[in-house]
Structure 1
Amino acid sequence: MLLVPSDVLRPRRPDEHFAEEARAARDAGVTVALVDHDALAGGGDADAAVARVPAGADAVYRGWMLGSDRYAVLAGALAARGVTLRTGPEQYRRTHELPGWYAAIAGDTPETVWTEGDDRAGFDRVRERLVAGPAVLRDYTKSMKHYWHEAAFIPDVADAAAAWAVASRFRELRGDGFTGGFVLRRFERFTGAEVRTWWIGGSCRLVTAHPDTPDAVPPADLRPADVTVAGFGSLDLPFAAIDLARHEDGRWRVVEIGDGQVSDRPGSTPPETLIAALRNA
């Protein structure tokens, strides 16, 4: 069964952003059910939010991002109806929050340090571990890359005042969405657009453009069967999206791992392609 958010104004219809995936799933013979994302994300009545979900099925969610705690609430409300999410709450947290996946693939991704919380002292402690050089800032789940110079890129972590100014602005912009702590990732130079790879059942099943650059066709030499990420299998993640970028030295590097249920599909990839990958796995 595929679970998608309902439209805010027309709750008996899928949210417009996920309507094509819902249609493709129905055309493929997959049951589609609607959940109230706003109620779930906002701390509302979870049982009411899943009231339209039929009982007794294995399910995959495709919708807007949920915090790890709220995803656990969703899983609990569905379990009470006899519905099992393919991705359990702990697996979701492991995928959704960077500290859950970093150690397993540390050799294939930029050096990373993080805090627990948003205080200056903790930030300075982890910043000093990188010693010097440029870094990119985010929290456990999200960056503010569209505010690159004011809230994402730190030209030199050795400049304490300038680094904290970026962190402060990031914290301000994230507001209530700030998750976990500050994350500092050593800046690496990449060439070309990022590529989104989709991993289902532990294997790469699909390679697409990144949603930010939907018209950038992935290189022909990056076929699903040829994509490997050392250590990924140890994470035991049923459905994940891994964003890759080519380093200037030619290596493919992991930019991000996210839960596949809340990772956006680029407009250049037909919804039928993703639904088929999920069904076939």
Structure 2
Amino acid sequence: MLLVPADPLRPRRPDEHFKAEAVAAREAGLDVAVVDHDALTRPGRVDEAVALVPAGGEAVYRGWMLRSEQYAALAEALARRGVTLRTSPEQYRRAHEMPGWYGAVVALTPTSVWTRGDLRADFDRVRVELGTGPAVLRDYTKSMKHHWYEAAFIPDLADGETAWKVASRLRHLREDDFVGGFVLRRYERFISAEARTWWVNGVCVLVGAHPDTPNDVPHLDVDLDAVTPVIAALGLPFTTVDLALRDDGVWRIIEIGDGQVSDRPTTTEPSTLITALLTRTL
């Protein structure tokens, strides 16, 4: 079955953002159930969050981003109802948090280092480790690229004060959503819009635009030859891989995410995504 967030005002109906996917899933023959996202994110209320999920069977979640520990709590609550999430908590963390997937794709993505936590001493240590020159900053799960010059881009790692100012701003903007630690990535110049690719059991089932640039159609000739074996080796049931063309003509992995919490661009029809997912057994 497909699990989607409930509408906060009409708790037995899908949230408006996921309603179209829920309709497409039902039309494709899948059972659909709702979960209370707000309850999922509050300690001690996870069983309440899944109260409307029918007992028994397997499920795939399509909803708002969850911290890894929240997803684990969701899996445990569903298990008490006899429902198994196809993506395990360990698999979710591996796809959702950058340290989980970086090692498998290190040759295909910008060189990166990270801290555990948000202390300046740790930030300076990894900053020096990465060297000099420009870098891009994020945490384990998300960047602040919409605040590029104040909370994402570091012009020169050698300038410790400016780098820390950017890091402090990112930490402030992320607030309670900050996950893991700071991630510093070597800056690379890209000459294409990002493509979001969707993978089921290590097979790419859909190539489309990125949600941030839904009207920027990616190159139809996205080269997946190098990417496919490493994504297959990750052993993840449902993932997204965002790619962009570097200025030397090489496709690079920008981001990997768990497909359950990866947004669908508005220019990709819900039925297209659901159909693509069903081409492989979830």
TM-score class normalised by the smaller sequence: over 0.9
Q: Under a length normalisation based on structure 1, what TM-score does the superposition of the two structures give? A: 0.97
Q: 2:203–2:228: 8 Å Cα contact kept in structure 1?
A: no
> 2-side partners of 1:230 and 1:186: how far apart?
24
Measure, in 2, the Cα distance between the counterparts of 1:196 and 1:70: 25
Aligned partner of 2:208 in structure 1 is 208
Kindly state the Cα deviation for residue 217 of structure 1 after the two structures are TM-superposed: 1.5
Stretches of 4+ moved more than 6 A in 1?
Answer: none
What amino acid does structure 2 have at the position aligned with 1:272? S
Matches within 5 A, 1:22-171: 22-171=22-171
Matched, 1:264 2:269: no
Please report how far the alpha carbon of residue 130 of structure 1 lies from its aligned counterpart in structure 2 after TM superposition.
1.4
Q: CA RMSD in A?
A: 1.2
Structure 1 letter corresponding to 2:255: E
Alpha-carbon separation, structure 2, partners of 1:140 and 1:60: 23
Q: Among the aligned pairs, what percent are the same residue?
A: 66
CA distance in 1 between counterparts of 2:221 and 2:235 reads 26
Q: Does residue 241 of structure 2 align to residue 242 of structure 1?
A: yes
Residue 29 of structure 1 and its aligned partner are, at CA, apart by 1.1
Q: In 1, Cα distance between the equivalents of 2:86 and 2:166?
A: 38
Deviations 1:231-261 (A, max 9, x none): 2222211000000000000110000000000
Count of residue pairs the alignment pairs up = 280
Distance in 1 (alpha carbons) for counterparts of 2:86 and 2:135 = 35
**Deviation for aligned residue 1:191:** 0.5
Write the letter of the residue equivalent to 2:140: Y
2-structure distance, mates of 1:235, 1:220: 25
1:255 maps to 2:254: yes
Report the Cα offset of residue 116 of structure 1. 0.6
- 2:186 alignment partner in structure 1: 186
Report if the CA contact (8 A) 1:207-1:223 is conserved: no
Query: Contact 1:154/1:162 (CA < 8 Å) preserved in 2?
Result: yes
Q: SS where residue 244 of structure 1 aligns? A: strand
Q: Distance in 2 between matches of 1:164 and 1:141?
A: 19
The gaps in structure 2 that reach 5 residues or longer are: none
Looking at structure 2, the residues matched to 205 and 228 of structure 1 have their Cα atoms a distance apart, in angstroms, of: 14
> Which amino acid counterpart does residue 256 of structure 1 have in structure 2?
E
Query: Residues 194-233 of structure 1 correspond to what in structure 2 (within 5 A)?
Result: 194-222=194-222, 228-233=227-232
Distance 1:83 1:227, change over 3 A: farther
Rounded to whole Å, the distance in 2 between the matches of 1:257 and 1:42 is: 26
Using the size of structure 2 for normalisation, the TM-score is 0.97
Q: Contact 1:108–1:230 at 8 Å: present in 2 too?
A: no
Distance apart, 1:227 and its partner CA: 7.2
SS of the residue 1:84 aligns to: strand
Runs (5+) with no aligned partner, structure 1:
none
